[in-house]
């Protein structure tokens, strides 16, 4: 969504700068080029699936980097930062922008990530079964 907004702004500023000058200055038309690149990226994100989990691999597609993979079994930490998730393995860091994921797919992603065997301090997902059992034990004692 942000790329679409930025692309519109950059294209508008770039077109204004190109039209308002008598001759084309390539430095001033840089706004237009950047806007077109942002627009292509935004359309790519809308058309393709952003996140795919297949055969135990979490894959994030991006126009700029094509794709980035993390094996689910290699995930050592998940952080929740500003409504986004950052997934870490020993060698890879993958940022997942939650706003780009459909609601039903987001629930499925949360379910899969919450089922990973991670320590409580390494995941934002609560282990509701363990917490409920602990609460019940505290109440009965």
Q: Work out the pLDDT band at 75, boundaries 50, 70, 90.
A: very high
Q: Could you give the percent of the chain with pLDDT greater than 90?
A: 31
pLDDT of 10 > 50? The answer is: yes
pLDDT tens-digit series, residues 15-53: 888 787 767 667 767 888 888 988 888 887 777 777 889
69 and 55 Cβ atoms separated by less than 8 Å: no
Burial 54-93 (b: 16+ CB within 10 A, else e): eeeebbbeeeeeeeeebebebbeebeeeeeebebbbeeee
Assessment of whether the complete model's pTM goes beyond 0.85: no
> Looking at per-residue confidence, does 48 or 137 come out higher?
48
Confidence at residue 127, expressed as pLDDT on a 0 to 100 scale: 56
């Amino acid at each position: 969504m942000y790329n679409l907004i930025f692309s519109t702004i950059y294209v508008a500023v770039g077109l204004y700068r190109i039209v308002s000058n008598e001759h084309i200055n390539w430095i001033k038309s840089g706004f237009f080029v950047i806007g077109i690149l942002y627009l292509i990226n935004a359309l790519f994100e809308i058309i393709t699936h952003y996140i795919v989990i297949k055969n135990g691999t979490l894959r994030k597609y991006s126009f700029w980097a094509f794709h980035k993979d993390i094996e689910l079994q290699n995930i050592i930490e998940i952080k929740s930062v500003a409504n986004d998730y950052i997934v870490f393995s020993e060698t890879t860091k993958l940022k997942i922008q939650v706003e780009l994921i459909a609601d039903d797919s987001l629930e499925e992603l949360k379910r899969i990530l919450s089922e990973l065997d991670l320590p409580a301090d390494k995941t934002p997902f609560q282990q509701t079964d363990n917490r409920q059992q602990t609460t019940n034990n505290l109440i009965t004692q």
